[in-house]
Amino acid sequence: MEKTINAHTDQMVDVLLARMSVREKAGQMTQITLDMLLVGEMYQVEEPHRFDEQKVKTALIDYQVGSVLNIAGKPYSRDEWLDVISHIQTTSINTSRLGIPVLYGIDAVHGTNYTTGTTLFPQEIGMAASWNPALVKAAAAITAYETRACGIPWNFSPALDVSRQPLWPRFWESFGEDTYLNAIMGQAMVEGYEGDDLSSPYQVSSCLKHYIGYGMPLNGKDRTPAWIPERFLREYYLPPFEQAVASGARTLMVSSGEINGIPTHANDYILKDILRDELGFEGLVVTDWEDIKFLHTRHRVAADHKEAVRIAIKAGIDMSMVPDDFSFTDHLIELVEEGQIPESRLDESVRRILRLKFELGLFDHPVLRDDANYDAFGSQAHRQTARQLAGESITLLKNENARLPLAADTKLLVTGCTANSMRHLNGGWSYTWQGQETDTYTKGELNVLNALRAHSGEALVSYVPGCTYDQVLDLDEVRQAAAQVDHILLCLGEETYTEFHGNMDDLNLPAAQVELARAVIATGKPVTLLMLQGRPRIISSFVDDLESVLLAYLPGNEGGNAIADVLYGAVNPSGRLPFTYPRYANALVTYDRKFSEISPIQNSRTCYDPQFEFGSGLSYTSFAYRNLWLSQPQIQATDTLEIRVEVSNTGQRAGQEIVQLYLRDEYASITPAFKRLKRFRKIHLEAGQKEVISFTLYPEDLCFVGHQLEWIMEKGSFTVMVGDQQNTFELI
């Protein structure tokens, strides 16, 4: 049946493609931002927003633009979105020569985050901290539902940037530093977005981003060069994309960076040889914002914009996110007319674009299907899933003397720069690009302070700001308030940002926040540190003097409630770090370090000493591991290996444990990592309950990318690690 549907779709695409002119084909490959259709200037659209019909005619009729994206500076309600999408589609279908619908795309990266009244989830780094792919898939399905309810069928998500450079300002848009965790979570999101039938009124097309190596800029700044050997690129950065492609992802966005001196948008080896030929990707490849222009203006591999268009199209780009003029379209038409690009090359890209539009059902239902029902839009059930995911992401990193959870009658002082704002719960890509106006659009939602007061009552929860992000306020007021309470919740972290606006030079917290921390510690009252942040900010100068530490990442609109749930024990924390939390700003070593990074020479200071290790996190109960069993002590290259371990809840309350299986190749021709994550499972155990957990390792789990850039395995000893248990086997 699937092949029949695909064959029918391809037949319709071929019929339509045969009727198209070069100008219409170039238009289909053009994507502009919504600002280009509205009254006003780019980035300065007039209020209230309304269409400039001459601009609409120029874009959709004269240029036959195939795709529109983005918001115009503010979020819309669902009804407003439907009006916008309906007008665009009606114009394109009813007025253009061939009646081709527009493909509208949006960055719905943690829920339908550019629409009011929707469900916002934790950002990806928090999703990863849940280590719960089933719950992440459910969140993605809700996002698809609420995005498609707005008439938008294309979501620029998930981000599969394996992020191994914590300075990078898009760190929180990723699933962290590990390849395998990125692959599993990415697959879950693709499946949640696209479902089994892309034409369903409740699904959207996913868009894998940012292909490839984007998460490892050498200097930590956004859109700056990466230097990644191809062997490393293939072993660490490619697998999440490979798995997502195998899961059926329909589209892919190209990284704005460059690798080893070659901009990704100009790299036909990466875009064709690897992506198309090796991974078998058949879908649509779209640029990121202005990136073809940047081949000329930033990367300087093209002498002018026209040359940049030629390079990018020949490299394998299907659609240009231009996004603010029609220069790409004009240049592309000229290049075809001059014989520099064959029309058949345009046919390849337009065929992919049209196929996606047919698969999404846009030709039959360009806005909404008549039989679609969106009664659950922004519903309490959806919000409950968001609250659960936020709760499962929160990571308890320290809890000396079992200081948490708090007793119900605890007198609590809340202080710090992230306590009294919805903005700090959500981060960037929230209602607006940088997320600064989140509080404007979340009236009635509960930030950390208000959620705690809703739980315990205002009489038990006092508040003194203490500091802004980088300025100390009245510390005497903090000290006086501290004298009246039993416990202090110190809320520190980051302002909202994304992309290059989040570039920074120092992972240390601003001095003002450190000063507040030292002031509340000096009161002698028990202090819990709550971090709301998108990347690990250094806390080593004061963390040893704290009894408890909670990392909540960027947990979304339900984050305040989830934090209250964890603080007071309604939820037993089960989040685990998806990255290595550094102790020092210049000691950025990932968990899968090499032995040379941790083996001192002649009493040198070489060591691995993070603040908190990848995969770590505490619970209000305790777990014990016993009897790590391997099915055989020796295996051959084609064998599978069965692994079992007994996990027990040895504490006094129910809890969730993340059983993590690591593998170490003891000796190899390419220096092996100390350990690599190969499997994990999140389990629930009642107090006193035990369970035997089983995993299977396959031959490919023993492989690495060798000198010839191919996956190979070598005979020798391997160590399996689960919890505090270890066992070994031989590959013979």
The full 3-state SS of 329-372, as one line of letters, equals HHHHHHHHHCCCCCHHHHHHHHHHHHHHHHHCCCCCCCCCCCCC
What six digits make up the tokens of 274?
């690897």
CA 98 to CA 100: how far, in whole Å? 6
DSSP string, 495-561: ----GGGG--S--BPPHHHHHHHHHHHHT-S-EEEEEE-SS--B-TTTGGG-SEEEE--S--TTHHH
Specify the amino acid at residue 3: K
Based on the residue annotation, tell me whether 665 is a catalytic residue of this protein.
no
Q: How many CB atoms lie within 10 A of CB 646?
A: 16
3-state DSSP assignment of residue 414:
strand
Residues 494 and 469 sit within 8 Å (Cβ to Cβ): yes
Bridge partner list, 696: 642
Residue in 655, 446, 687, 692 with CA at minimum distance from that of residue 564? 446
CA 410 to CA 485: how far, in whole Å? 8
Task: Show the CA angle centred on residue 69, arms to residues 66 and 72, nearest 5°.
Answer: 135
**Which pairing describes strands 262-263 and 258-259: parallel, antiparallel, or unpaired?**
antiparallel
DSSP string, 595-634: GGGT--STT-------SB-TT--B-SS-EEEEEEEES-SE
Task: Show the CA angle centred on residue 608, arms to residues 604 and 609, nearest 5°.
Answer: 105
In eight-state DSSP terms, residue 268 is H
What six digits make up the tokens of 193?
């977005």
Q: Which of 107, 161, 288, 439 is catalytic?
A: 288
Query: How far does the chain reach from its first CA to its final CA, in angstroms?
Result: 44
Bridge partner list, 472: 467
Bridge partner list, 207: 251
Give one word for 145, left, alpha or beta, with left for phi > 0 and alpha for psi -120 to 50.
alpha
Q: Which residues are catalytic?
A: 288
